[in-house]
C-alpha cells in the first residue's frame, strides 16, 4: 500500500479511515447509557506543550533538544459517574505528535477506581494493572465525599460570592474589587483573580525574589446546553527536568464541545422519589430557573429563595406538574438557596445567579 510522510512518520490513509470507523463503533456502544448512570461528562481535549529557554548562552545536547520539541496531544474523553458516585474515565487517543504509532497503540484507555486498562484499535486488551493503593484510596475518598455532600465532579466556575469571599478572607486573603467585574485576592506569595462576568480566573505564585514561579489561567464559556463549562486552560511553570528557571513549559489545553449529560439513572432515581429529590437547571442561571420535579413533588408546591444570611428574597407557588420555571432575573449576582415545600416536606437546592 502506498504511504505518505507526515511530520516525520509514514501515514497509511486507509489505516486512518479504518481507525475512525472502529472509533465510531466504539462510541456508539459507549453511548448506550447504563441504567445506573447519574451523569456523563463528554469533551475533546487538545493539549499543546511548548518550551522556551531563559539562558541564551546555554547550548543543549541533541537529546535535550529532542525533549524540548513541541508536543500536541488530542484525546476524546468520556467520564461516567454512577448513582453511587463511582467514576469511570474512557479516553480515546486521537493524536499524539510524540508517538509515531498513535493510530494503533494505544487506541483507548479506561480508568476505574481500582485499575487501568489500555486497548488497541480493535478493542483488544493490551495492558491491565491495579492502581497503587494511594490512588485507590483517593478515589474512594472522592466517592465518599460526593455521597456525603451530594456534589459532583463537574468543573465549576468559582464565582466570587459572599460565601467564597468569607472563605478566602478566613484563609488570609485580602480582596479588592477592580473594574470590569474583576476581584483581586492576595495572600503571601499567591495572587488570584476572578472575573464573574467574563468567566475567567488567573493564579500567580511568586518566589521570594518576586519572580513568578507558576502562572495559570482558566477560561469558562456557556455551551449549547446553557451550561458553564471549561474552554481553555493555560499553565506556565518551570520544567522540572532542568535547573529551576532554566526552561519553562507552557501548556495550552482547549476543551471542545464540552457538555454534561444527565443519564437515565438520575431521572429514574428522581422519578422513584429517592430522597424526594428535584433537579434544577441551568445552574448558574441568568433569567429562568427550571425545576424538574418527580415522585412526591409533582403536586402543587410553594417555593422560597433565601440568600446565605437567611433573608427571604422571593416566594411563590408551583402548579401541579413535573416541570416548572421561576424567574430569578431580578436577583443580584451571587449564590442562593431554593427551598421547595409540599405539606410538611421540603427540599433544598443551591444555585448561582449571574
Same-domain pairing of 286 and 252: no
Q: With respect to residue 213, please indicate whether it lies within any of the assigned structural domains.
A: no
Task: Measure CA 160 to chain center.
Answer: 18
How high is the pLDDT of residue 35?
65
Same-domain pairing of 250 and 276: no
The total number of structural domains in the chain stands at 2
Task: For residue 47, give the H/E element and its range.
Answer: strand 37-53
Same-domain pairing of 254 and 148: yes
Q: With respect to residue 297, please indicate whether it lies within any of the assigned structural domains.
A: yes
Whether 349 and 315 have beta carbons less than 8 Å apart is answered as no
Whether 289 and 328 have beta carbons less than 8 Å apart is answered as yes
Each residue of 256-293: b (16+ CB within 10 Å) or e? eebebbbbebbeebbeeeeebbbbbebbbbeeebebbb
Q: With respect to residue 171, please indicate whether it lies within any of the assigned structural domains.
A: no
Q: Which domain holds residue 328?
A: 272-353
Angstrom CA distances, 152 to 205, 233, 244, 248, 327, stand at 28, 20, 37, 34, 25
How high is the pLDDT of residue 250?
96
Q: With respect to residue 111, please indicate whether it lies within any of the assigned structural domains.
A: yes
| Paired residues of 87 in beta bridges | 81
Angstrom CA distances, 3 to 11, 20, 96, 98, stand at 6, 18, 19, 19
| Paired residues of 288 in beta bridges | 327
- Could you give the CA distance from residue 233 to residue 155 in angstroms, rounded to a whole number? 12
Task: Measure CA 323 to chain center.
Answer: 27
Same-domain pairing of 34 and 144: yes
The model scores a pTM over 0.85: no
Count of alpha carbons within 13 angstroms of residue 97, beta-carbon side: 16
Each residue of 115-141: b (16+ CB within 10 Å) or e? eebbbebeeeeeeeeebeeeeeeebee
CA-based max dimension of the chain: 77
| Cα dihedral 31, 32, 36, 39 sign | positive
Report DSSP state, residue 287. S
Same-domain pairing of 346 and 235: no
Q: Which residue has the cell 476572578?
A: 194
Start-to-end C-alpha separation, the chain: 57
Same-domain pairing of 57 and 110: yes
Same-domain pairing of 228 and 81: yes
Q: With respect to residue 349, please indicate whether it lies within any of the assigned structural domains.
A: yes
Same-domain pairing of 61 and 138: yes
Compute mean pLDDT per 10 residues along the chain, 354 residues long, and list them.
Answer: 35 42 46 70 94 87 89 92 89 84 73 92 88 88 77 81 88 93 94 94 93 94 84 94 87 92 53 52 82 72 82 87 84 83 76 79
- Could you give the CA distance from residue 292 to residue 279 in angstroms, rounded to a whole number? 5
Q: With respect to residue 201, please indicate whether it lies within any of the assigned structural domains.
A: no
How high is the pLDDT of residue 94?
86
Same-domain pairing of 253 and 134: yes
How high is the pLDDT of residue 295?
62
- List the helix and strand counts (H, then E) for the chain: 5, 22
Same-domain pairing of 100 and 43: yes
Same-domain pairing of 145 and 279: no
Same-domain pairing of 148 and 289: no
Whether 354 and 286 have beta carbons less than 8 Å apart is answered as yes
- Could you give the CA distance from residue 66 to residue 102 in angstroms, rounded to a whole number? 18
Q: With respect to residue 170, please indicate whether it lies within any of the assigned structural domains.
A: no
- Other CB atoms within a 10 A radius of the CB of residue 245 amount to 13
Amino acid at each position: 500500500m502506498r504511504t505518505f510522510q507526515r511530520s516525520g512518520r509514514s501515514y497509511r490513509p486507509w489505516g486512518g479511515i479504518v481507525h475512525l470507523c472502529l472509533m465510531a463503533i466504539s462510541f456508539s456502544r459507549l453511548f448506550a447509557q447504563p441504567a445506573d448512570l447519574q451523569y456523563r461528562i463528554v469533551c475533546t481535549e487538545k493539549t499543546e506543550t511548548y518550551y522556551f529557554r531563559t539562558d541564551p548562552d546555554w547550548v543543549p545536547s541533541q537529546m535535550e533538544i529532542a525533549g524540548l520539541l513541541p508536543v500536541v496531544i488530542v484525546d476524546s474523553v468520556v467520564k461516567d459517574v454512577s448513582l453511587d458516585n463511582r467514576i469511570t474515565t474512557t479516553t480515546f487517543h486521537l493524536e499524539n505528535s510524540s508517538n509515531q504509532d498513535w493510530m494503533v497503540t494505544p487506541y483507548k484507555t479506561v480508568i476505574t477506581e481500582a485499575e487501568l486498562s489500555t486497548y488497541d484499535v480493535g478493542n483488544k486488551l493490551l495492558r491491565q494493572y491495579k492502581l497503587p493503593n494511594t490512588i485507590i484510596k483517593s478515589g474512594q475518598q472522592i466517592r465518599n465525599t460526593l455521597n456525603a455532600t451530594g456534589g459532583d465532579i463537574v468543573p465549576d466556575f468559582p464565582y466570587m460570592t459572599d460565601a467564597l469571599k468569607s472563605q478566602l478572607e478566613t484563609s488570609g486573603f485580602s480582596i479588592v474589587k477592580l473594574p470590569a467585574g474583576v476581584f483581586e485576592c492576595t495572600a503571601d506569595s499567591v495572587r488570584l483573580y476572578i472575573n464573574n462576568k467574563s468567566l475567567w480566573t488567573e493564579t500567580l505564585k511568586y518566589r521570594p525574589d518576586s519572580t513568578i514561579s507558576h502562572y495559570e489561567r482558566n477560561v469558562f464559556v456557556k455551551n449549547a446546553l446553557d451550561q458553564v463549562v471549561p474552554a481553555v486552560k493555560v499553565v506556565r511553570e518551570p520544567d522540572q527536568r532542568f535547573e529551576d528557571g532554566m526552561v519553562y513549559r507552557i501548556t495550552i489545553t482547549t476543551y471542545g464541545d464540552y457538555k454534561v449529560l444527565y443519564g437515565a439513572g438520575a431521572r429514574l432515581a428522581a422519578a422513584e422519589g429517592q430522597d424526594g429529590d428535584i433537579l434544577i437547571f441551568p445552574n448558574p442561571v441568568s433569567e429562568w430557573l427550571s425545576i424538574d420535579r418527580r415522585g412526591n413533588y409533582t403536586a402543587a408546591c410553594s417555593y422560597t429563595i433565601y440568600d446565605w444570611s437567611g433573608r427571604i428574597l422571593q416566594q411563590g407557588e408551583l402548579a401541579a406538574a413535573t416541570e416548572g420555571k421561576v424567574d430569578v432575573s431580578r436577583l443580584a449576582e451571587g449564590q442562593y438557596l431554593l427551598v421547595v415545600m409540599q405539606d410538611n416536606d421540603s427540599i433544598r437546592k443551591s444555585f448561582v445567579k449571574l
